[in-house]
Amino acid sequence: MVMLIAGNWKMNGLAADAAEQVRALADGIGRAGGAELLICPPATLIPIMARALEEAGIRDRVALGGQDCHIAEKGAHTGDISAWMLKDIGCSHVIVGHSERRIDHGEDDDLIRAKAEAALEAGLVAIVCIGETEAQRQAEETELVLSHQLRGSMPSGATRENAVIAYEPVWAIGTGHTPTAEDVAHVHRHIRTVAEDFFPDDLRILYGGSVKPDNAGALLAVDGVDGALVGGASLKAEDFLAIAAAAKV
């Protein structure tokens, strides 16, 4: 199975940064091995990166995705971007349901599912994020929370080709803390068991949350982990490629 290594740049990067990172990716692309690479930069940088990747001759090696999308194809939604717009500017994927959207913008499972379904309708692969908070973890509610988010957030009609699950424990995002390999294996088994109840395909499950070059090998070697959703470490091509190099193919 080819692993997916996805980078979420969040609200970081200007045009010069995008050009610099594409040059660095092109110089070191051989280090990525056979891993599938995806970068989700801010929407302002997607056309710039698409053009730079094409000029660098690595557009076929690095896919582009959005960080969020609206449920509608178009309309009076100031400041939003639709899945169809992302598709139009060269995206193949979109992240929905990231904890920062759930928490900062109050997005619930119903809205996230609607966004994921819009992504599928537009021909994008929906990367649906789920994860428990520190309080929920301490209350031993991890499995309950993840089951609820899965059932509520995943789009109908999800298949291995059009949907990916990303498990990101909220308490590990950007904190430098990561669960143990045993914890990750246990949670991914639970997610897969729940997903198998209502989806015929064996969906890919990524791990996210403080993935770095020094822990990527251990995390990506865990049974049931099909890749990584990388945050801060994806902002530097060297670190992103090092994580990709750690992926088993």
What is this structure's pTM? 0.97
* 232 assigned to a ligand binding site: yes
Q: Residue with structure tokens 């309309």? A: 75
What are the domain boundaries of the chain?
4-245
* 8 assigned to a ligand binding site: yes
Position 92 scores a pLDDT of 98
* 66 assigned to a ligand binding site: no
Position 224 scores a pLDDT of 95
**How crowded is residue 3: how many other Cβ atoms within 10 Å of its Cβ?**
21
Position 102 scores a pLDDT of 97
Distances (CA, A) of 41 to 14, 196, 238, 239: 10, 31, 16, 16
Q: Residue with structure tokens 């509520």? A: 152
Per-residue pLDDT of the chain (249 residues; tens, 9 = 90+): 799 999 999 999 999 999 999 999 999 999 999 999 999 999 999 999 999 999 999 999 999 999 999 999 999 999 999 999 999 999 999 999 999 999 999 999 999 999 999 999 999 999 999 999 999 999 999 999 999 999 999 999 999 999 999 999 999 887 878 899 999 999 999 999 999 988 878 999 999 999 999 999 999 999 999 999 999 999 999 999 999 999 976
* 7 assigned to a ligand binding site: no
Rounded CA-CA distance 76/156 in Å is: 26
CATH topology of domain 4-245: TIM Barrel (3.20.20)
Show the tokens assigned to 10. Answer: 């969040």
Active site residues: 98, 168
* 212 assigned to a ligand binding site: no
